[in-house]
Chains A and B, each alone.
Chain A
């Protein structure tokens, strides 16, 4: 069973100050963890730091099954950890299925053609996100939200133990957002570790197993969603606006109420 561990982990850009400090958490296989916090609180910086991208510096420990991620070579890391940025550019001139097949890159050499196995994996991934009908469309012929799904399929076709997603639900409508979080829960139940940033607690049903709350680059709370959401005025003070979170009694999904609604 895979395990992603952060111990007193800090990361930031080499070029400027913006950073996230002292995050400690332990994510086990089969769990969905949400990273929430106001704009600029360091959510994306945290994900990029875990990926140890060039241009990032980090301190502290980040390990996958007690192997330090920054010490892995790129290909080895790519075969085990996938990452979906907030708004990756559209791959010009490629069709949706070709875009999804790009996710098979870590599993073969740099010029070889797509094997029947690769194509099957890619089609399965498209089907999982409900976008198999887009397979032969060019990425510039489909909408922003549909491209989001195609990119998600590309990440799935990478077949990794961990998937990091930066705002996967942005630019998705209510229906697709609900499907997305349901899909992420389903992936987690197969033993994948999911770590996703989000601004929309209320769009995610009850998909989260754990929540990390960041504020100003610092880890404010980490725990089960009810511990973070329901602990007094924590969210109101972090987001600097009165708000309250409740749980729907019928399906356990989270509902956010703006303003003083006590």
Chain B
């Protein structure tokens, strides 16, 4: 546990230092590049990674399903549809509106999933099935949008769907910040409640948890975290899957430890995936979504084959 903490702090500090010095201009980059390109990019990676990891971690406890992530619940599909629609429309809007439409789509899709699943009254597989349904619906709508898009816009849509951490200035980080606070604070205050959800609704209820209300708040927090992150960096997947399961192995399943460690782990994963995406075909960049999917696909399979502790 102490060793894990130490290694993670070293990985985080090392990641920040490396990320500050990596780029086409390397260490010789002028201060402006470091201050307005690299530093905000690091902050964006950290906040988005922590948000996505905590979102997945919360969902896995509340739904008691190891494969529950923002993406299996239809959030990414929702974000894709609205953001795709904005890009297709070609209206020249401030960039905030693209973020905001991604977030709105993510929240709309998770609300739809929630109602399709009977507002949490039905069993856990009901919610996952509803998520799959919403995902399929979103994916087909996105295909339709892509089909109708002119080539130039199509590239833009596809590029956004692949995830993008490239920033200049702090606007995107500042956009994500309110979502981070609004989702992270209520989740962190409910770590003990999340532990109770692990033993099932009846046990949790018998120990004084208002399961209907708490489930709603926790799902809302997870949706806000994932929605904000998806709006800011695009629908990158698998962070909410890889990080909580890895941390569960390292620090155990007690959410009072697991949730803060997942936040740190998500930040580290995103930070290092971003470094990798910038150096592997330097000076060009690989989209971060591609790297995370290459990591996440096999990990998903691994979880399916080797029964995870959840």
Name B205-242 residues within 8 Å CB distance of A.
205-212
Which residues of chain A come closer than 8 Å to B207, judged between CB atoms?
Answer: 78, 102-103, 105-106, 158
Q: Looking at the complex, which one of A82, A98, A110 makes contact with B191 (CB distance below 8 Å)? A: A110
Which residues of chain A come closer than 8 Å to B210, judged between CB atoms?
Answer: 74
* Per-residue B-contact encoding for A91-104, CB less than 8 Å = 1, 0 else: 11111001100110
Q: Looking at the complex, which one of B208, B211, B212 makes contact with A105 (CB distance below 8 Å)? A: B208
Closest residue to A83 on the B side, CB-wise? B206
Closest residue to B212 on the A side, CB-wise? A54
Q: Looking at the complex, which one of A51, A92, A102 makes contact with B310 (CB distance below 8 Å)? A: A92
- Report which residue of B188, B203, B210, B308 has the largest number of chain A beta carbons within 10 angstroms of its beta carbon: B203
Number of A residues contacting the other chain (C-beta, 8 Å)? 38
In contact, B309 and A140 (Cβ under 8 angstroms): yes
Query: What is the CA–CA distance of A76 and B180 in the complex, to the nearest angstrom?
Result: 33
In contact, A85 and B202 (Cβ under 8 angstroms): yes
Which residues of chain B come closer than 8 Å to A83, judged between CB atoms?
Answer: 202-203, 206
Asked whether any CB of chain A lies closer than 8 Å to the CB of B198, the reply is yes
In contact, A93 and B189 (Cβ under 8 angstroms): no
Asked whether any CB of chain A lies closer than 8 Å to the CB of B5, the reply is no
Closest residue to A103 on the B side, CB-wise? B207
In contact, A93 and B253 (Cβ under 8 angstroms): yes
Given contacts A54-B212, A92-B253, A98-B252, contact A110 B193 (CB under 8 A): yes
Query: What is the CA–CA distance of A78 and B248 in the complex, to the nearest angstrom?
Result: 29
In contact, B195 and A102 (Cβ under 8 angstroms): yes
Which residues of chain B come closer than 8 Å to A53, judged between CB atoms?
Answer: 202, 205-206
Closest residue to B190 on the A side, CB-wise? A110
Query: What is the CA–CA distance of A155 and B188 in the complex, to the nearest angstrom?
Result: 26
Asked whether any CB of chain B lies closer than 8 Å to the CB of A79, the reply is yes
Asked whether any CB of chain B lies closer than 8 Å to the CB of A88, the reply is yes
Query: What is the CA–CA distance of A112 and B193 in the complex, to the nearest angstrom?
Result: 11
In contact, B253 and A78 (Cβ under 8 angstroms): no
**Interface secondary structure of A, over-half rule:** mixed
Closest residue to B254 on the A side, CB-wise? A98
In contact, A89 and B200 (Cβ under 8 angstroms): yes
Which residues of chain A come closer than 8 Å to B191, judged between CB atoms?
Answer: 110-111
Number of B residues contacting the other chain (C-beta, 8 Å)? 33
Closest residue to A158 on the B side, CB-wise? B207
Query: What is the CA–CA distance of A77 and B70 in the complex, to the nearest angstrom?
Result: 34
In contact, B253 and A98 (Cβ under 8 angstroms): yes
Given contacts A102-B207, A105-B196, contact A110 B253 (CB under 8 A): no
Distance in angstroms from B254 CB to nearest chain A CB is 6
Distance in angstroms from A5 CB to nearest chain B CB is 20
Closest residue to B206 on the A side, CB-wise? A83
In contact, B208 and A51 (Cβ under 8 angstroms): no
Distance in angstroms from B258 CB to nearest chain A CB is 8
Asked whether any CB of chain B lies closer than 8 Å to the CB of A115, the reply is no
Query: What is the CA–CA distance of A74 and B211 in the complex, to the nearest angstrom?
Result: 10
Asked whether any CB of chain A lies closer than 8 Å to the CB of B140, the reply is no
| Top 6 closest pairs, chain A to chain B, by CB | A93-B253, A78-B208, A92-B310, A91-B198, A83-B206, A75-B208
Q: List 22 A-B contacts (CB under 8 A).
A: A53-B206, A74-B209, A91-B195, A91-B199, A91-B253, A92-B66, A92-B309, A93-B309, A94-B195, A98-B254, A99-B199, A102-B199, A102-B203, A103-B207, A105-B192, A110-B189, A110-B192, A111-B189, A111-B191, A113-B256, A138-B309, A154-B199
Q: Which residues of A contact B (CB under 8 A)?
A: 48, 51, 53-55, 74-79, 81-83, 85, 88-89, 91-95, 98-99, 102-103, 105-106, 108-113, 138, 140, 154, 158
